[in-house]
Amino acid sequence: MSTPTPTPSAASSARASEDRSARIAVTIFPALILLAAAIGFFLPDVGQSLAPFTSIYLGVIMFAMGLTLTIPDFSLVARRPLPVLIGVVAQYVIMPLVGLGVTILLQLPPELAVGVILVGCAPGGTSSNVITYLAKADTALSVTMTSISTLLAPLLTPLLTLWLAGSYLPVDAGSMAMSIVQMVLIPVVGGLVVRLLLGGLVARILPALPWISVAGISLVVIAVVSGSTEAIMSAGALVLVAVVLHNGLGYLLGYWAARLLRQGERAARTTSIEVGMQNSGLAATLAASAFSPAAALPAAIFSIWHNLSGAMLAMYYRRTADKHQVDPT
């Protein structure tokens, strides 16, 4: 028995409900992540009880991301290949190299250096799509960039981490690739297939998906922070400086990479957000499992900061959209 296809009005209503839920989630997301960090820091036993299941939390987040995807999201690659290519290449060139540059500039110790570089080698963050929507940039382009960079992560994230961070700590690229396949690729594809088969049912639960992602990342942060309390006490301020530099340069260089390659204002703003916002939940989980809880600290802090900075950037982009003749999404 086939699932009935939602009528246009029902689909529009579901999309509006999803957008409202996403806006609320991204607004209070930083506060929830800060609360999660506080729980992990002051109640480390709670965090350590959650730590063995971080890969499961990430898998749930990625499955939820897959449920939001549709085949037309990928058709943009054929219709507008250049902006998608620019965004994905910038994602995997700018952020890894900036991460390496920040570690050298700040002379970070090996575990923290690997953590910062791993954040840079991660694919685009799922919250970048909501930030793009709020910024009146190109949401469809953002979704496509995030999807493609995520699908490429099993290959590019381990290779780039090995290349850039291998001099700091040993990197098992093969094991990391397999972990990304299990925690990211399979859940995302699974979610996409479920959306194809049960589109009507999934449409009804779309508004809940941002909250599932928020809950999953919060649990990852609690687990990571609980295992790195000593690193926070000794180097928390230094890591925050590294994260702010990494994220800010990602926004700036992502924007200008697109502009220098003759992309329009909306595409440049989208690339800026996509490049600057990373899948910090993946980076934290990989760092904790492949290296140490201290190596996961940069990703945990990045998770807090990039949502704060992304919300501020979206506010600026939205307020200047008319000035730059940016059409609303």
CA torsion through residues 93, 95, 101, 103, sign: negative
Compute mean pLDDT per 10 residues along the chain, 329 residues long, and list them: 48 57 65 86 91 90 88 84 95 97 96 96 87 85 92 95 93 93 92 91 84 84 85 88 97 97 95 95 90 89 87 87 59
- Residue 326 forms part of a structural domain: no
- Residue 285 forms part of a structural domain: yes
pLDDT at 23: 62
pLDDT at 75: 85
pLDDT at 32: 82
- Residue 2 forms part of a structural domain: no
Could you say which DSSP state residue 168 is in? T
Distances, alpha carbon 115 to alpha carbons 9, 106, 197, 300, in Å: 46, 13, 38, 10
- Residue 1 forms part of a structural domain: no
pLDDT at 329: 42
Identify the three-state secondary structure at position 291.
Answer: coil
Whole-structure pTM value: 0.84
- Residue 268 forms part of a structural domain: yes
- Residue 195 forms part of a structural domain: yes
Q: What is the largest CA-CA distance in the chain?
A: 61
Query: CB neighbours of 206 closer than 8 A, spacing ≥ 6?
Result: 14, 15, 17, 18, 21, 67, 68
pLDDT at 25: 60
pLDDT at 2: 42
Contact 267, 274 (CB under 8 A): no
CATH number of the domain where residue 290 is located: 1.20.1530.20
pLDDT at 37: 86
Number of domains observed in the structure of the chain: 1
Q: What domain range includes position 303?
A: 8-319
pLDDT at 228: 81
pLDDT at 215: 86
- Residue 313 forms part of a structural domain: yes
Q: What is the 3-state secondary structure (H, E, C) of 11-70?
A: HHHHHHHHHHHHHHHHHHHHHHHHHHHHHHHHCHHHHHHHHHHHHHHHHHHHHHHHHCCC
- Residue 221 forms part of a structural domain: yes
Could you say which DSSP state residue 183 is in? I
